[in-house]
Structure 1
Amino acid sequence: MSLAWRVQVLALSLIFSTAHARASENTQNTNTDLVRQAFANWQQGKGSAFDLLAPDAKWTVAGTSPVSAVYASKAELAQAVRPITARLATPIVPTVRSIVAQGDVVAVLWNGTATALDHKPYDNTYLWHMTFKNGQIVEVTAFLDTYALDDLMRRVKPAQ
C-alpha cells in the first residue's frame, strides 16, 4: 500500500471518527437536556420524567426488597406506581443533585420529597440509570432506599 493511500485512509478514518464522536456528543447533550427539562417540569408540577418513557420501556427497581421488581412497560410501571401515590398527600417533588451522561445513557441522582397521608415526610434519594433511543427512555435501572419505600407502603393505608 502506497504512502499516499495510507494517508488518505488515515484522513478518512479521522473524519469518520470525529463525525461519529460529534453525533454521539449531540445525542448525549440532547438526552441530558430532555432529562433536565423533564425534572424541571416535574418540580413545577407540569409533568414528570416518566413522560420520557417509551411505551415498551423496561424499568427495574434494583435490589431484593419487597418493592424491588422488573416492569416490562410504561403501563405496567404506572400500575405499580399507583399504590405509592395513593399513600401520599402531596406529589413527590424532585431536586436534581447531578446528571451524568455517556452516549445514550443518562444517570440522574436526585432527592424526592413528599408528605404521606399520615402527615409524615416521605424522603428518598434516587439514582436512575436511563438508556435512550430516539429521544425516549427505553430502559431504566432505579436505585433508591427501597426500605424507605417499603416503610411507606406498610405504614400508610392508601386513599380510597
Structure 2
Amino acid sequence: MSAVELNKTVPDFTAPATGDKNISLSDFRGSNNVVIYFYPKDSTPGCTTEGGDFRDHHDAFEKADTVILGVSRDGIKSHENFKAKQSFPFDLLSDKDESLCKLFDVIKLKKMYGKESLGVERSTFIIDKEGVLRKEWRGVKVKGHVEEVLEAVQSL
C-alpha cells in the first residue's frame, strides 16, 4: 500500500485501540473529521506534553466535529496506562506491526546520542468527514502545535 497523499482519500484501516476495541477510519466517515497524531513513545516527556495539549483542547475539537486518535508502536497495555495516567478523553491506537506508520510514512531514521535508529517522526494528519487527507504536519515541535491543528480543523 502506498503512503497517503494530500487531497486524496485515505485507505480505510482498522487498528487495536484502548477500551478493548478496534477502530476503523470508516467508523467516522460522514460524521466526523479525524485528527491522527503519531508520537514516538508512551509516557515520555514530549509525548506526554503533546497528548496533554490534545486533552486540554478536546472540547474544542469535539465542537468542530473532530475525533482525536493518538498512534504509537506501543502495545495496548502501555497505552491503557498512559491514557489513564494522563486522563486522555480520546483513544490511542497500537501500531505494533507499523502498518499505520508505513501508510502515513512516519518511520524515519533518527539520531540520538550519536546512534542511528528507525523511529516514529512526530506527525499529525487531518482527515475530513469524507475520508480525504486535508492537512499534514511532519517533524512536529510540540509547543503551540495543537492550537495550530485546532485552527485548521475549525477552518474545514
TM-score by length of 2: 0.32
More helix, by proportion? 1
Question: Which of 1 and 2 has higher RCO (CA within 8 Å, sep 6+)?
Answer: 2
Larger radius of gyration: 1
TM-score by length of 1: 0.31
